[in-house]
Structures are given as C-alpha cells and as structure tokens.
Amino acid sequence: MITERAMLAAVHISIWTAIKHDRKISRDIADQHGAHQGAGRYNKQLLTNSRTSTSTRRLKPQPRRRREMP
C-alpha cells in the first residue's frame, strides 16, 4: 500500500548574495548624527564585480508552490 511506502521530504534552496551588514559603520553613522541605532543599515558588497552580483540575482529561486500527493 502507498501509505506504507510514502516518504516526506522538504527542500530548502538558498544562494549567497555576497552582501554583509556592516554593523560598525551603521553604529558610527548613527552616533555621528544622533540617530537611533536602528535608523540606518549599511551593507558592504563582498564582491565588486557587477557581473557576478547580476548573475546571482538571476539565479535566485522563485517561491515554490507546496505540492502534496493525493
């Protein structure tokens, strides 16, 4: 019977964006301007080649529909 041979599976797909939150700069800028620590978020790009970042965006997976077997 199918109920005796079924298997559950889950898939998680992710991709490295080559972007890192720069906490030190974010904190320094907030202090310089007297703003709340969460007022700004500054990121650094770890790869400067724009072609590389474009290709990673293109490969980003689209949301998938959940499929269940009847």
The predicted-structure confidence for 18-47, as pLDDT tens digits, reads as follows: 899 999 999 999 999 999 988 999 999 888
Residue 4 pLDDT? 77
Residues, the chain, total?
A: 70
Q: Is the pTM of this model over 0.85?
A: no
